[in-house]
Amino acid sequence: MSAPSLAVGDRPVAKTCPPITRTTLALYCGASGDHNPMHVDLDFARAAGFEDVFAHGMLVMAYLGQALTDAVPPERLRAFSTRFVAITALGDEIRCEGEVVEILEGDRERLARLVLTARDQAGREKLVGEALVAV
């Protein structure tokens, strides 16, 4: 769906990402430079009180951002913000979704406000956010 045709109630963002694996986390460490051992070192994670390592919050945010820009041309994106809600475990399959909840009339352009979510396969929220898109 192209951004100019967005209307309240539309759900242009819909993407399911592959399950999070140890390889996913190691590759993200290398790509991002975030080598926090909580995400790749099982012994470190257990010493901190967790059963296993877990995904970087910014990895899940990247998935949501990619789902957004798959649905809306990046040049139409005016704002993108998120809030971390819960830890994303190994094996979680993240489903990214976004719904248009409001059309705003600005001085220079019309904007659609989208509410965004990233949930695991059981429907548990991992990340919530919103975006403003020129329409």
Look at residue 1 and tell me whether its pLDDT is greater than 70.
Answer: no
In 48-128, which ranges are continuous DSSP H helix? 57-71
Long-range contacts of 29-38 (CB under 8 A, 24+ apart): 29/56, 32/56, 32/58, 32/59, 34/58
Q: Is the CB of residue 114 less than 8 Å from the CB of residue 134?
A: no
Look at residue 107 and tell me whether its pLDDT is greater than 90.
Answer: no
pLDDT value of residue 68: 97
pLDDT value of residue 106: 78
pLDDT in tens, 3-15: 558 999 999 999 9
pLDDT value of residue 4: 58
pLDDT value of residue 104: 95
At position 112, the amino acid (one-letter code) is A
Alpha-carbon gap, residue 82 to 64, rounded angstroms: 9
Look at residue 2 and tell me whether its pLDDT is greater than 80.
Answer: no
- In the predicted model, what is the mean pLDDT of residues 20-34? 96
What is the sign of the dihedral through the CA atoms of 99, 103, 108 and 109? positive
Sheet containing strand 13-16, edge to edge, reads: 13-16, 95-105, 110-119, 125-134, 77-84
pLDDT value of residue 5: 82
Look at residue 30 and tell me whether its pLDDT is greater than 90.
Answer: yes
Alpha-carbon gap, residue 47 to 63, rounded angstroms: 28
Find, among 96, 132, 127, the residue nearest to 114 by Cα: 132
pLDDT in tens, 33-82: 999 999 999 999 999 999 999 999 999 999 999 999 999 999 999 999 99
Ordered structural domains, the chain, with CATH: 3-134 (3.10.129.10)
